[in-house]
Amino acid sequence: MSPQPRVLKIMNVLSAVLVLAAFLMAMFYAPLEKVMGEVQRVFYFHVATAWVGMLGFIAAAVVALIYLRTQDLKWDVIGLAAVEISLVFFLIAIVLGSIWARPAWGTWWTWEPRLTTAAILEMIYLAYLLLRQGIEDPDRRARFGAVYTLLGGLSVPLTFVSIRIFRTIHPVVIGGGGSEKMSMTGSMVATMLFSIAVFSLVFVTLFWHRIRLGLFADKVEALKLKVTQ
């Protein structure tokens, strides 16, 4: 594998520094929420990881369209990278949401619309990874992955709008109104937006690393196929 580009090395350091900065903002800059108390500080990372995870799934669907049009296997590598990293971010969001829900709702989990659709979304893409393992031919695997990712991507907007179209106890952070609308001060909004920006950078950094690893793995797989033929 070729050495890391200079820009990627800078992004590695910058990501680590900014994650620490986001943590400090959540702990000391954002004010204490009057009702939920200290546990509400989990909210900033919960929103950021969920948002980045869903954007990654959407990016994977866009990449799937590009693959189906070009039939270039590098786009399959990129799509797989987007799904894998988004799965991790979205799982973190679900775990953080449960930590937040325990004192706020009195339970770690409840099958309300947002949590239900989020769990289904995570399982859809976990199944995608498992099913890919059963296909040895790279072209067939890539075509399957592209079609599956496109279909799976339909669940992303459903997860996002579920708290806007169904009766739910989950607060609406972006948009919406009424009693379910979450009220935030200016410093809370600033911390949330900063966290979203930071985790977006972390996503791009990990995405780049995973693409480089995937392209290297594809070269190794191609060499193995040549040897066995």
172 DSSP β-pair partners: 181
DSSP reduced 3-state for 50: helix
pLDDT at 172: 63
Residue 96 · residue 77 · CB < 8 Å = no
pLDDT at 229: 59
CA separation for the pair 197, 136 (Å, rounded): 38
End-to-end Cα separation, the chain, in angstroms: 25
pLDDT at 173: 63
pLDDT at 33: 81
pLDDT at 177: 47
pLDDT at 142: 93
204: its two tokens: 């791009």
Nearest to 159 by CA among 194, 114, 125: 114
Cα 91 to Cα 37, 84, 96, 103, 148: the distances in Å are: 24, 11, 9, 20, 20
Nearest to 41 by CA among 26, 19, 63, 61: 26
pLDDT at 44: 93
DSSP reduced 3-state for 33: strand
pLDDT at 146: 94
CA separation for the pair 24, 22 (Å, rounded): 5
Residue 47 · residue 115 · CB < 8 Å = no
Average pLDDT of each block of 10 consecutive residues along the chain (229 residues)? 87 97 95 82 93 94 96 94 95 91 79 84 93 88 93 86 68 53 81 96 96 84 67
